[in-house]
A and B are shown apart, each in its own frame.
Chain A
Amino acid sequence: MSGNIRRNWALIAFIAVAALGVIYFAAFDRPIRAKLSGIEAEKEIISQQTAEAEAALEEYTKMKNELERIDSLPDGSAAFMPDYDNSSALIYYFGRVFEDSKPELTFEEPKTEGNVASRRVNFRFAAKDYSDAKNTLRLLGSSGFLSRMPDLSVVPEGGDLKNGSLRVSGSIVFYELVR
């Protein structure tokens, strides 16, 4: 009789422990594991985003520092991109550069790429001598507007650069900021 009771108690205890184990794993362990793995996945995403944010912050700081350096320069010493459309200011500027000469100017249609429009102007002018030509070219390059002169050709009328008049032609590209 007492042996039967022991066996019954043992069976009841085993069933109770097994039931508690199943409940523990189903109702507690599994949800906790799922939550933890969800958190880990989110942490990985956040950590990736943090790395990107830190890289962006580094770039931002670099840009800020460079802008502060430019701000500290004397006025007009740093060339800049004016806002689109700057064509009227350019025409006014060319008027000042070619005051004494009669240039041929061709304005090409601006090409826009991202936030930048590039406006190519082809020029041709006659200079009375080399220093006149050089002076005009210097003025062309120092408009204060961001520009580059991809092509330039200088041909002396008399076959010698240092003597006599010159024919100068080329192109200059001005950049404008499209907001």
Chain B
Amino acid sequence: MQSKLKPGAEGMASKKTLNLMTCSEPAIKPPVAAAAVIIAALCLFLILRFGVISRIENLKSAQRELEDMKSRLELTREQYSDFDEVALEYLKYTYEDPDGPTADRIAILGMLERQVLPVCSIRSLGISHSVSEGCDILSLTVSGPTLEETYALVGSLSEEPSVISVSISSFSDGSAEPGGATSVTMTVKLSASEGGK
């Protein structure tokens, strides 16, 4: 139904004032906001403490440790700065041939004087160094001993500290020899070190 009254006409209801006040609730309630701020601050603190400061401290500590290690290394290296000269000087007195050491030749002659010459006479002797076996080989030809004496000689030679092994290559009873003396050829393996057994 359409009103035929014109605005402002008598009898028409009208509102002279306008109430602009609105009654609305805040978007976030203050206690919630406070709690959120506290939680946010706590989170920020935890992130800063464990995510940033602690990481930076770890990095610094690792760097310090690395620097310490480097300085210790330098200090150790400084202690042997003349290593090459000392090594040459050391080599000068202690060099050992790669073929291995050899037994003292005079000591071998001494052993023959003790063990062989009282029993028989030496017709020839040869000493050589065997690189493959890593020891010295004494080849000995003696004349005069009986089989029993030869057996005893092998036993006494074997007891010498520098002797590794004794083997008999040949024994001749002397019938073929002009003087008729027996002849024995033996090989003695010798260690270069003292008490080489």
| Interface, chain A (partner B; CB < 8 A) | 1-2, 5-6, 9, 24, 28-29, 32, 35-36, 39-40, 42-43, 46-47, 49-50, 53-54, 56-57, 60, 63-64, 66-67, 70, 78-81, 113, 115-116, 118, 134, 137-138, 141, 146, 148-156, 159-163, 170, 173, 175, 177, 179
A46 touches B73 (CB 8 A): yes
| Interface, chain B (partner A; CB < 8 A) | 24-28, 47, 51-52, 55-56, 58-59, 62-63, 65-66, 69-70, 72-73, 76-77, 79-80, 83, 86-95, 97-99, 101-102, 104-106, 109, 117, 121-129, 143
A2 touches B24 (CB 8 A): yes
Chain A neighbourhood of B95, CB < 8 A: 81, 116, 146, 175
Within the assembled complex, what's the spacing in Å between the Cα atoms of A80 and B89? 9
- Chain B residue nearest to A81 (CB atoms) is B92
Given A5-B27, A146-B93, A152-B128, 17 more pairs with CB closer than 8 A? A24-B51, A29-B55, A32-B55, A32-B58, A43-B62, A43-B65, A64-B86, A81-B92, A115-B88, A116-B95, A134-B109, A141-B105, A146-B92, A153-B126, A156-B122, A162-B122, A179-B88
Which of A56, A67, A115, A116 interacts with B93 by CB under 8 Å?
A: A67
Q: Count of A-B contacts with CB under 8 A?
A: 153
Which of A32, A47, A56 interacts with B83 by CB under 8 Å?
A: A56
Chain B neighbourhood of A141, CB < 8 A: 104-106
B123 touches A46 (CB 8 A): no
Within the assembled complex, what's the spacing in Å between the Cα atoms of A150 and B97? 11
B106 touches A151 (CB 8 A): no
B94 touches A66 (CB 8 A): yes
Report the minimum CB–CB distance from B118 to chain A (whole Å): 11
Within the assembled complex, what's the spacing in Å between the Cα atoms of A32 and B60? 10
Chain A neighbourhood of B101, CB < 8 A: 148
Which of A36, A60, A67, A151 interacts with B128 by CB under 8 Å?
A: A151
Chain A neighbourhood of B25, CB < 8 A: 2
Report the minimum CB–CB distance from B36 to chain A (whole Å): 9
Chain A neighbourhood of B24, CB < 8 A: 1-2
Which of A2, A9, A42, A156 interacts with B123 by CB under 8 Å?
A: A156
B92 touches A80 (CB 8 A): yes
- Chain A residue nearest to B128 (CB atoms) is A151
Report the minimum CB–CB distance from A3 to chain B (whole Å): 9
Known: A36-B58, A60-B83. A150 touches B106 (CB 8 A): no
23 A-B pairs (CB sep. < 8 Å): A32-B55, A39-B62, A46-B73, A49-B73, A53-B73, A60-B86, A63-B90, A64-B86, A66-B94, A67-B93, A79-B93, A80-B93, A81-B93, A81-B95, A138-B106, A146-B93, A148-B97, A151-B129, A154-B126, A156-B122, A173-B97, A177-B88, A179-B88
